[in-house]
A and B are shown apart, each in its own frame.
Chain A
């Protein structure tokens, strides 16, 4: 039943909106994991990020793709938002309050991975300023530390922070870049892994063709 709701939600609402109102310039689509367990990490500027990333997957496997999202934000007040988050999108809630220890905190994620799901994670933690990359958090490393078999695919999103930025309700159509990179294999230390992820995001952003004034044409070639 939940699978049906999610498939319908993406087939009838998300995919048409992404196709017509947004429009994606996708590069490196072949790098997208074809089956789980796998992790997709992306930069985070807009609520659209999750929907766009999930819309890249075929409907036949969309129920296996699970975004990890803040429990306080999406489930805090219950009601409609919580219903959409759990039933339509199928999030794995993550407690951001910082009380629980890691094992409990990530239990939802490790369980989903062991069931062969594809996790979508935003290591910046929250949406931040439009089109700027904040410091990446190390949580992802904890998940893959002892699992060299799980690919981690970095994905650079650009333009969605203009279409629907944080704190705005008005969606304005813009084309957006989705640049999918290769599996991150540098996993010896947490710092090494995070550095390779940051470097990868920077490399991927050079393939973006949409621009806003935050990133002038000069920055692009650096």
Chain B
């Protein structure tokens, strides 16, 4: 059960080291500046421990539990999304059916039925939701609701389920095991957020999309893309079936799409005039605040890997 493939084990150790240093830095900062309030930083680091602990436990236990875990993430994300966007009171009956798509979608993933997994939401749910809406008979705001519901389901169920399907791909890199590609995607995506943030803090001058996100700069973006591409080229061959040059491409893909995932959810929040999408994760905000980049990187990385090696 817990015989972790060597390369995946190394990555888990690396993440552990990063977490410990995060905790030490946050502790040191508070010691050095006792007058400042570092509560949010401390909460942020503590939440990282929680999230990573739960994630590793689910991933290492077995494939089925890991798939179900991402199903739960989809549920929490869809719920959070539909709670902050405006829908009509009547739509709750349609939303109920959108929730039912989650167990089905993850059932297709868990049984490895690729053909169904890939069309279930873009076709069947896409057609089912407006059918249920028509049966309710309320035409005021119909287009608006149909659009919101389908977009929400695509982002939070379809996109996130691609992470889970990575677990079901036949293992090609024995040293990484079935968790290798997932660890690679999650680590590169989250580390991309960190890199873009750090480069932006250090060198940031020229704003990239000031209307959406005033803190995002060209320097942060380019710094992030370069670092992630290089790191990806190094660890991609260890954790995935990708060759070194394919891993470089995967790095560019993850870094650029991760940036866009982040700013797309930022735009949603700007539109609704809220700061966080929820308060599930102390110091981070809601689950969408954490999953924003992943919803974009997961399907793109999945299909790059799937096309080039399966």
Contact = CB atoms under 8 A, between A and B. Distances in A.
15 contacts: A23-B79, A23-B278, A130-B89, A162-B89, A172-B95, A172-B99, A173-B75, A174-B79, A174-B83, A175-B80, A175-B83, A175-B278, A209-B277, A217-B273, A221-B273
Interface in B273-304: 273-274, 276-280
A212 B80 CA distance: 13
- Among B76, B82, B92, B273, the most chain A Cβ lie within 10 Å of the Cβ of B92
Given A162-B89, A209-B274, A209-B276, 6 more contacts: A130-B89, A163-B92, A170-B93, A173-B79, A211-B85, A217-B272
Interface string A153-175: 00000010011010000101111
Interface residues of A, number: 26
A210 B84 contact: yes
A175 B83 CA distance: 6
Interface residues of B, number: 27
Interface of B: 75-76, 79-80, 82-89, 92-93, 95-96, 99, 141, 271-274, 276-280
Interface in A125-143: 130
Nearest to B141: A213
B99 A212 contact: no
Given A172-B96, A175-B80, A213 B273 contact: no
Main secondary structure of the interface of B (DSSP, over half): helix
A173 B84 CA distance: 13
A211 B273 CA distance: 11
A211 B84 contact: yes
Nearest to B88: A213
Interface in A1-59: 23-27
Contacts of A173: 75, 79, 99
Nearest to A221: B273
Nearest to B92: A172
A214 interface: yes
B86 A176 contact: no
Nearest to A158: B83
B83 A159 contact: yes
Contacts of B99: 172-173
Contact of B86 (A23, A27, A170, A213): A213
Contacts of A170: 92-93, 96
A187 to B, nearest CB: 32
Contacts of A211: 84-86, 272
A25 B79 contact: no
Contacts of B271: 217
A60 B277 CA distance: 31
A165 B276 contact: no
A77 interface: no
Contacts of A203: none
Contacts of B96: 170, 172
The 8 closest A-B pairs by CB, nearest first: A175-B83, A172-B92, A210-B83, A25-B279, A209-B274, A213-B86, A174-B83, A211-B86
Contacts of B95: 172
Contacts of B274: 209
A97 interface: no
Nearest to B97: A172
B54 to A, nearest CB: 14
B57 to A, nearest CB: 18
Contacts of A214: 89
Contacts of A220: 273
A212 B87 contact: yes
Nearest to A211: B86
A212 B144 CA distance: 13
A111 interface: no
A205 to B, nearest CB: 14
A170 to B, nearest CB: 6
Nearest to B279: A25
A98 B141 CA distance: 42
A216 interface: yes
Contact of B92 (A162, A176, A209, A216): A162
Contacts of A174: 79, 82-83, 92
- Among A27, A165, A175, A210, the most chain B Cβ lie within 10 Å of the Cβ of A175
